[in-house]
Homo-oligomer: A and B are copies of this chain.
């Protein structure tokens, strides 16, 4: 890893060169590098935590002056119980994942002695822009090396000291491995993001890890593909055939399990015929968790006799809002078809749920909703790489191409086609000449 005082352009060029070497390294060589990083970090614990303490001191002062949020200070802290150990374990977890490079995904005999293969390979150079969490740098370095990609890292300024300390350790750990020096670059100079986003000749994919504003800014300011999501406006459609206790539980979990998450519930659509049967119970369960209900006229009327609720009149804007707080917009609709139309036009194509006991309706909903995750009778909060069983997660994508939903190592791969021949030309084939066999061969 380079501790670049290098310019963004130099960092990107050197990452590109390194990516071409990384692409040829064996799985063992890449895994050995992860082992070296793990050992290096283990040995340098005190030095890194001392650097982190300096970041924390500044951050606490800024927080006391009201310039920084308390939650950011908390995210900075590497001494929080389990955080350091999780960071180290994460590197070994990534090392233990199946090698994503060089997997054959198609094999066709074009002709005798002319064979086509499709093989997974790294994308090239990743630009990862993230906010405060200093442990992310180790995690991302591990994912990048495992997947054979070079990475340029740009972290938030609040964790600069921690980043520099961690990357110094990683850098020296990599020196005795086959992974080239330019493979992981840390850019610490300020205000370089616009320059980095312009380097589409060298950077193949941008992965922002941070809030909506950061992601939206990046998407609006680069021609490089961006993997991620700006919004997480998740909805649940509550059908009148749903089991009542099930509905209450899933809605409460989706809304309150972690309100600041992108996969938290923001809009509840209630079928008209479920208004008197289901909504009062759901609203009471939400009120017990201190959820404010932004109700349209019909749902407000249906709740008029339910005590203990915190109801506010909904505006149109509430149905386009990702609250990220204990607030839920509630709208009454006629049924499935209106639910689909509403979610496809108001949602953010992240994760949406139908609660129903009608399996056919559930399948229709899951096929028609244009989102990365479509669930039947389960919480929106399951939209997560760890919960899906993917191991470490790079992020959650609402893109319509490449990777969608929670993205693990697979999302950092592309493929190439290899042909092995014996001197064939395209001119050898055609009418009156040789014919293609196009014989599919097994590949696993």
User: Chain A residues in contact with chain B, CB under 8 A?
Assistant: 19-21, 23-24, 102, 108, 110, 114, 116, 121, 123-124, 204-205, 219-220, 223, 225, 227, 243, 245-247, 249-250, 252-254, 257-258, 340-341, 344, 362, 364, 366-368, 370-379, 381-384, 387-389, 399-406, 414-429, 436, 438, 440
User: Which residues does chain B contribute within 8 Å of A415, judged by CB atoms?
Assistant: 404-405
Q: What are 8 A-B interface contacts by the 8 Å CB criterion?
A: A225-B399, A374-B416, A378-B421, A379-B425, A381-B425, A389-B440, A400-B414, A405-B417
Determine how many copies of this chain the complex contains: 2
With both chains docked as a complex, state the minimum distance between the C-beta of A281 and any C-beta of chain B, in angstroms: 14
Kindly report which residue of chain B lies nearest to residue A375, judged by CB atoms.
Answer: B419
Report chain B residues within 8 Å CB of A379: 421, 424-427
In the assembled complex, the Cα of A179 lies from the Cα of B220 at a distance in Å of 34
Ranked nearest first, the 8 interchain pairs of A and B with the lowest CB-CB distance are A253-B425, A378-B421, A246-B423, A389-B438, A381-B426, A401-B402, A375-B419, A402-B402
Contact B223 A225 (CB under 8 A): no
**Complex Cα gap A121–B349 (Å):** 14
- Cα–Cα distance between A414 and B370 once the two chains are bound (Å): 11
Q: Which of B102, B388, B424 interacts with A110 by CB under 8 Å?
A: B388
A419–B250 touching, CB < 8 Å: no
- The distance in angstroms between the C-alpha atoms of A243 and B423, with both chains bound, is 9
A20 to B367, CA, bound (A): 9
Choose from B19, B24, B425, B429 the contact partner of A252 (Cβ within 8 Å).
B425
- List residues of chain B with CB within 8 A of the CB of A250: 423-425
Complex Cα–Cα for A255 and B82 (A): 61
Given contacts A110-B389, A425-B254, A425-B381, contact A368 B20 (CB under 8 A): yes
Give the chain B neighbours of A372 by CB distance below 8 A. 416-417
A387, B110: Cα distance in complex, Å: 8
Residues on B with beta carbons closer than 8 Å to the beta carbon of A406: 417
**Chain B hits for A377, CB < 8 A:** 420-424
| Measured CA separation A253–B421 after assembly (Å) | 14
Contacts of A368 in B (CB 8 A): 20-21, 23-24
Question: How far does the alpha carbon of A19 sit from the alpha carbon of B23 in the complex, in Å?
Answer: 38
User: Knowing A368-B20, A377-B423, A418-B366 touch, does A401 contact B123 (C-beta < 8 A)?
Assistant: yes
Closest to A253 in B: B425
Known: A110-B388, A249-B425. A417 touches B373 (CB 8 A): yes
Question: A381 CA to B401 CA in the complex, in Å?
Answer: 27
Taking a contact as CB atoms closer than 8 A, the residue among B366, B374, B387 that contacts A426 in the complex is: B387
Beta-carbon nearest neighbor of A340 in chain B? B20
A428 to chain B, nearest CB (A): 8
Residues of B within 8 A of A121 (CB): 367
Q: A401: which B residues are within 8 A, CB to CB?
A: 123, 204-205, 225, 227, 401-403, 414
Extra 20 A-B pairs, beta carbons < 8 Å, given A247-B423, A254-B425, A405-B415: A23-B370, A24-B364, A24-B368, A110-B382, A110-B388, A225-B401, A249-B423, A252-B425, A366-B418, A372-B417, A374-B419, A375-B419, A376-B418, A376-B419, A377-B420, A377-B421, A377-B422, A378-B423, A378-B425, A401-B401
Report the minimum CB–CB distance from A199 to chain B (whole Å).
14
| Contact across chains for B366 and A425 when beta carbons are under 8 A apart | no
Residues A419 and B20 in contact, CB atoms below 8 Å apart = no
Q: For A377, give the chain B residue with the smallest CB separation.
A: B421
